[in-house]
Amino acid sequence: MSGIARLRCDQVAPVLGDVAANSALVVASVERALADGVDVLVLPELVTCGYVFRDRDEALRSAITTDDPLFVRIRGLLDGTDTVVVFGFGERQGQRVRNSVAVVDASGTRAVYRKTHLWDRETLVFDAGDEAPPVVGTVHGRIGVLVCYDMEFPEMPRMLAVAGADLIAVPTNWPVGEHPERDRVAEVIAAQATARGNGVFIACCDRAGTERGQDWNEASVIVDQFGWVVAEAAPAAGSTAVTADVFPTLARDKSTSPHNDWLGDRRPELYEREVPRA
């Protein structure tokens, strides 16, 4: 059983198509995280390449493979530490271009996940992944991975919770949306409900930096296993880091009353039944 872990979502502003600059941004973020004693660093979706591509060809030009020097560089920075880095990258995988996330620690690349639910024009640019999201065992707890729109499908975080995830790391690029003043942004509400309903911690790392006229919610957030926000980006803060010390393995206690348990109370056989229509 591990103890307290310092989580950080580093809401940086990548530059569209500039892999060298963005790799330097990632390296600098990892260096800051190590200096600050961060245990789990989450960076945005597609942080290596940016988001608003005109087409597939443009995305391919800044896509990297999993043997890119950036992975070696991060691993090197993490050498001798227990820190884990989760970051999004545009991936060239054979003839395909993916919206991917890597989980890297001192031992190397622990997992690569390719986004399976593509949002809006991503459907014209990227090839959707066909594999289930992974859970990575670390000294800081078991980390599940989703990318942005994936989280909006409750089946996805549920899979990760059932597979034992304590914390779900969600690199995102949340296009700016309107919301009533009383409410947080819609995606944060989704993260809160998801965290509570599965009894897991969730860390969503949004991005900053207007790109071809597109702004973002800039609403990076760390949510506890009860669905409450423990750290969040200030509105319109731009590039900023959100950091919180949490106890990820507390997520293993799913009890919610003397007679209830978030996962134990599921009735999977019922969910396969046909809905009666009257």
Q: Give the residues lining the site for a second copy (CB under 8 A).
A: 103, 110-111, 116-124, 130-137, 144, 149, 152-156, 158-160, 162-164, 179-180, 182-184, 186, 189-190, 192-194, 196-197, 226-229, 257-260, 265-268, 270-271, 273-278
Q: In degrees rounded to 5, what are phi and psi of residue 23?
A: -65, -40
Toward a second copy, which CB reaches closer, 180 or 213?
180
Shortest distance, CB of residue 121 to a second copy, whole angstroms?
7
Toward a second copy, which CB reaches closer, 136 or 246?
136
Shortest distance, CB of residue 152 to a second copy, whole angstroms?
6
* Chain-centre distance for alpha carbon 115: 10
Toward a second copy, which CB reaches closer, 25 or 145?
145
Shortest distance, CB of residue 12 to a second copy, whole angstroms?
25
Toward a second copy, which CB reaches closer, 17 or 134?
134
Shortest distance, CB of residue 21 to a second copy, whole angstroms?
29
Toward a second copy, which CB reaches closer, 124 or 236?
124
Toward a second copy, which CB reaches closer, 34 or 229?
229
- Cα separation, 5 vs 245, in Å, equals 5
Shortest distance, CB of residue 36 to a second copy, whole angstroms?
26
Q: In degrees rounded to 5, what are phi and psi of residue 260?
A: -135, 155
Shortest distance, CB of residue 117 to a second copy, whole angstroms?
6
Toward a second copy, which CB reaches closer, 80 or 268?
268
Q: In degrees rounded to 5, what are phi and psi of residue 8?
A: -140, 135
Burial letters for 246-271: b for 16+ Cβ neighbours within 10 Å, e otherwise? bbbbbbeebeeeeeeebeeeeeeeee
**Please, what is the end-to-end C-alpha distance for the chain in angstroms?**
50
| 122-127: long-range pairs with CB below 8 Å, 24+ | 124/55, 124/56, 125/53, 125/55, 125/56, 125/59, 125/97, 126/56, 126/59, 126/97, 126/98, 126/99, 127/93, 127/96, 127/97, 127/98
Shortest distance, CB of residue 28 to a second copy, whole angstroms?
27
Q: In degrees rounded to 5, what are phi and psi of residue 129?
A: -70, 160
Distances in Å between the alpha carbon of 144 and those of 107, 139, 174, 201, 271?
A: 18, 14, 19, 10, 24
